[in-house]
Amino acid sequence: DAGITQSPRHKVTETGTPVTLRCHQTENHRYMYWYRQDPGHGLRLIHYSYGVKDTDKGEVSDGYSVSRSKTEDFLLTLESATSSQTSVYFCATLGHYGYTFGSGTRLTVV
Amino acid sequence: AQTVTQSQPEMSVQEAETVTLSCTYDTSESDYYLFWYKQPPSRQMILVIRQEAYKQQNATENRFSVNFQKAAKSFSLKISDSQLGDAAMYFCAYRDDKIIFGKGTRLHILP
């Protein structure tokens, strides 16, 4: 969807390094979400935000932090990446008609 | 906690036939939303259909329809006249203040 941009689209990083994934929206939506998708697990919620500087944990938040200093940007940070964090990460926003997802970021931790 | 269960990891259907994907969920809430999302190989998540729990009428979008049984907490997706482009992973999802996904059903369309 043109209203949500995730960057980067692909990233390979080494174990122990910090990584930040960015989600940018142009729709001025209040709610934003980070999910990870793994085979056999579907999409699992990592963190979400219900406004600037207002965030909360999802079901798989360990090892991740988030920040939202502006309505349009929601950052996901892996402070020290581990191989178990190799996954596809999706950002989503909640608008009037429902959820809209970004195109995903494929992160590989080697 | 709310849960969403898709009991069919994979399904196959002949082109032009009808297929039904199953989904059950667990919640103590009375007001919520249910969704089916499609994820083709492109990885994009595409909303197929949505249902508000307070509406008894089943939602329909062209060839896609749902059978919503609130008392049974069941929300199945029926795809009529299956097309090759329908091949994808399908996720059932539940939402009150956040959205919870099932593990998905991979649908294959046989020519």
Cβ–Cβ gap B99/A33 under 8 Å: yes
Give the pLDDT band (50/70/90) at residue A99: confident
The per-residue pLDDT for A2 is 55
Over the stretch A2-12, which tens digit does the pLDDT of each residue have?
589 999 999 99
pLDDT at B110 over 80: yes
What is the average per-residue pLDDT within B46-61?
92
CB pairs under 8 A between A and B: 37
Give the pLDDT band (50/70/90) at residue A82: very high
Residue B109 belongs to what H/E stretch?
strand B105-110
Q: Which amino acid is at B66?
A: V
A42 contacts in B (CB within 8 Å)?
6, 91, 101-104
Between residues B22 and A100, the one the model is more confident about? B22
pLDDT at B75 over 90: yes
Cβ–Cβ gap A88/B33 under 8 Å: no
Question: CA angle A94-A89-A76, nearest 5°?
Answer: 80
CB of B102 closer than 8 Å to CB of B4: yes
Structure tokens at B75: 């929300």
Give the pLDDT band (50/70/90) at residue A1: very low
What is the average per-residue pLDDT within A15-33?
95
A58 contacts in B (CB within 8 Å)?
98
CB of A46 closer than 8 Å to CB of A60: yes
β partners of residue B108: B12
Cβ–Cβ gap A101/B45 under 8 Å: yes
Chain B contact residues (CB < 8 Å to A)? 6, 33, 35, 43-45, 47, 50, 91, 95, 98-104
Residue A60 neighbours by CB distance under 10 Å: 18
pLDDT at A84 over 50: yes
What is the average per-residue pLDDT within B27-46?
92
What's the mean pLDDT when you consider all of chain B? Answer: 94
Say which DSSP state B59 is in.
P
Cβ–Cβ gap A48/B100 under 8 Å: no
Give the pLDDT band (50/70/90) at residue B1: confident
The per-residue pLDDT for A41 is 86
